[in-house]
Chain A
Amino acid sequence: MTIFYFVAFLSIFFALMTIFTKNPVHSVLYLVITFATFTVHYILLNAQFLAAVNFIVYMGAIMVLFLFVLMLLNLNKESEPMKSNLVKIMGVIAGMCLIVTFLGAFRLLESNNAMVQGHENIGLVKNLGKVLFSDFLLPFEISSILLLTAMVGAVLLAKKETRVKQHG
C-alpha cells in the first residue's frame, strides 16, 4: 500500500507540473513521466497488458508525436494566444465543479468489493484474449472498419492532388 501512495503522489505531482510549466517541451516531458507512473499503477493492479500498452503506445509513440508537433509548430511566448482572466476564472470554476462531481461519485468506493476481488487475474493477456475472441468478437472484428476508415482518410488527406498534370 505504501508503494501505491508513493506512486500516486508522483502521478499527481507530475500531472500538476505538466500544467504549470511554461515551456511546452518540458510540459510534454512531464506528461511522459506521468504516464510512466500510470504504468507502475497498472503493474500494481496486476494488469500487465495495459501496462505494456501504456508504456509502448502512450509513452513511446504518442508522446514522441507530441514532441514532433511541438517542434514543427515552434511554439513560443509570442505566438501564444491571449487568454482573458474571465476565461481563466470560468475554467477554474468548471474544473472545480467537475472535481466535486467526481469526488461525490467516488465517495463510497471500497477496495474490497466483490467485483475487484473476484477477478484477480483479469488483467492478464491470456484472459483478455479469451474475452476478446469470445464475448467481444463482434466489436473486435468491426473495429477493422474503424481502422480502414482512418487509413483511407489519412491517405486521402495527405496525398498530393494530381490535378494539373497527370503523370500517371
Chain B
Amino acid sequence: MGAIITLSLLGILILYLGLYKAKNALLPVSILGLLGALAYELYYWQSDAVPMYKGMVLFDHFALAFSMLCIVLTILILLLSKEYFKSISENIAEYYTLIIFSLTGALMVCAYHNFAMLFIGLEIMSVALYILVGIRRKDKASNEASLKYFLMGAFSTGFLLFGITLLYGATGTFDLAVLKEYIIANPTEVSPLFYGGILLLLVGLCFKVGVAPFHFWTPDVYDGAPILITTFMSTVVKIASFAGFLKLFSMVLIPLNEFWTPVLLTIVIITLFVGNITALMQTSFKRMMAYSSISHAGYMLFAILSIGANSASGILTYAIAYGLSSIVAFGSLMLVKRHIGSDQFESFNGLGKTNPGLAFAITVAMLSLAGIPLTAGFIGKFMMFTTVMNDYHTVLLLLAAINAAIGIYYYFRVIVHMYFMKGEGEEPVQLSINFKLVFGLAVLLTIIIGIYPDIIVSLI
C-alpha cells in the first residue's frame, strides 16, 4: 500500500514541478520516487500477507513480485525518455505524471483482492494510456491509435463490468476470498449466472492483454503510439494485466477449470498462429514487435491454461525476460529511427559494423525473445512448456513448438539485417549514457537469469 500512496503523491509532486518550470528535476525526482516505491515493496516482502482495508488489497509475494517488476521496468523506460519527450512537446511533466499514474493502476491490478479494486486499477491504467498514446497531436497515426484504443478499451471494460456484475448476482460479493468459498461450498450447483460471468470476464481480460481474437486494436495502437509509450504498453501494462488475469483464475476459478479450459485452449491456439504468422509478414520492425507481443501473450496464457504450483513463477520469469528484451528492442528502435528516420528492417542494416555494442544488445534481446538457451527467454518458454506438459496438452505443445520455430525466423531476420547487410551511412548511432546504462543492465539481467534461473524461480 505504501508504494501506491508514494506513487500517487509522486505524480502530484511532478505536476507541481512542471508548474514551476523545474524541467531538469523531473527525471531525477521521478526515478527517486519510483525507487522509494520499490523500497516499500521490498519492505513488505517479509511481513505476513493479509487482506487489508476490508479485504480490498492483498500484498502477498505474488503481488509484490509483479509490482516490483512493473516498477523496475518503468524506471528503465523513464531513463530512456530523457531526450524523447522533449522532441514531442513542451508538456513533459504531464507525461511523467501520466506514466506514474498508469503505474499506480498497474500496482493495484497486481494487488487487488476485490473486483472494485480490479476495475478502478484497470481504468486508471488505461485512461492514462489513452492520453499518452495520443500525445503526438499533429500526427494522424497517433490520433487514430488513441481513439481506437479508447473505443476498444471502453468496450472491453463494458464486458469486464458485466462479467463482474453477473458474478455478483450469483454470489452477492466482490471479494475474491468469498467468491472462492462460494465455489468450494457448491461445487456441483454453481449458479448459471456464474458461468456467464466467467465468459464475459474472460472476454474483457483477453481484450486487455491483447490476445486473438480480441487483438485487432493491438497492431494499430502499438504502431501509432510514440515508441516510448509502446514500450510501456507492451511491457508494464501487459504484465500487470496478466498478473490480474492469473490471480483471478488461480485463486477463484480453478475448481471450475473443466468449464473454461476448452475456451482458453482455443484462444491460445488462435493467438499463437495469428501472432506469429502475421509477424512473419511484416516489413516494419515496430509492427513486427506488435504482432510478436500478441504471440508472447499466447505463450503467457499457457500458465493460466494449466494452473499449477509453478504458474506464478513461470509467468513472472517469462514476463521479466519479455519485458527486458522488449525495452532493448524498442529502445534501439528509438535510436535507429532518430538516426535514419524509418522503422523498417532495412534501417538496422550494417549496425553490426558501425555500432558493435548496440548490435550485440539487440542480438541478445532477439535471442531472448526467440527463446534461445542461455537467455532468460529460454527459461521463460521452458517453464511455460513444462506447465503445459504436466497437463498432457500434447497437441498444444506441438503447435507451440511449431510457433516457436516461426518466431525464431522473424527474430533472426533482424540479426541478419544487422550483421550481413551493408548499411548506407558509415557514422555510428549516438548513444547517450542513459541508453548505455539501460541496455547494459537489461542484457546483463537477461544473461544472468538465463544461466542462473533459480534466483527468480524460487521467488514466489
Contact = CB atoms under 8 A, between A and B. Distances in A.
Interface residues of B, number: 42
Contacts of A143: 120
Contact of B98 (A105, A134, A138, A153): A153
Contacts of B8: 142, 145
Interface string B384-416: 000000000000000000000000000000000
A135 B56 CA distance: 8
A109 B57 CA distance: 31
Interface stretch (B89-97, B204-212, B245-253, B326-334): B89-97
Interface stretch (A32-40, A64-72, A78-86, A154-162): A154-162
A162 B105 CA distance: 31
B172 interface: yes
A153 B57 contact: no
Interface residues of A, number: 30
A104 B196 contact: yes
A139 B116 contact: yes
B127 interface: yes
Nearest to A155: B94
Interface string A127-154: 0000000111111001101101110110
Given A104-B192, A109-B193, A149 B116 contact: no
Nearest to B104: A145
Most buried by B among A101, A108, A143, A156: A156
Nearest to A135: B54
A102 interface: yes
B103 to A, nearest CB: 11
A139 B192 contact: no
A163 interface: yes
Interface stretch (B22-30, B130-138, B345-353): B130-138
B131 A156 contact: yes
Contact of B15 (A107, A115, A135, A152): A152
Contacts of B102: 149
Contacts of B166: 105
A142 B196 CA distance: 29
A149 B128 contact: yes
B196 A146 contact: no
B149 to A, nearest CB: 13
B124 A145 contact: yes
Contacts of B192: 104-108
Contacts of B11: 145, 148
A149 B99 CA distance: 10
B221 to A, nearest CB: 16
Given A137-B53, A145-B104, A157-B137, A163 B90 contact: yes
Nearest to A158: B137
A163 B172 CA distance: 54
Interface in B117-147: 117, 120, 123-124, 127-128, 130-131, 134-135, 137
Contacts of A145: 8, 11, 101, 104-105, 124
B52 to A, nearest CB: 8
A78 to B, nearest CB: 22
A145 B100 CA distance: 11
Given A101-B199, A108-B192, 17 more contacts: A102-B196, A105-B196, A109-B193, A115-B172, A134-B54, A136-B54, A136-B56, A138-B54, A139-B114, A139-B120, A142-B4, A148-B11, A149-B101, A149-B128, A152-B94, A156-B135, A157-B134
14 contacts: A104-B196, A134-B54, A135-B54, A136-B116, A138-B117, A143-B120, A145-B124, A146-B123, A149-B131, A152-B97, A156-B135, A157-B134, A161-B89, A163-B90
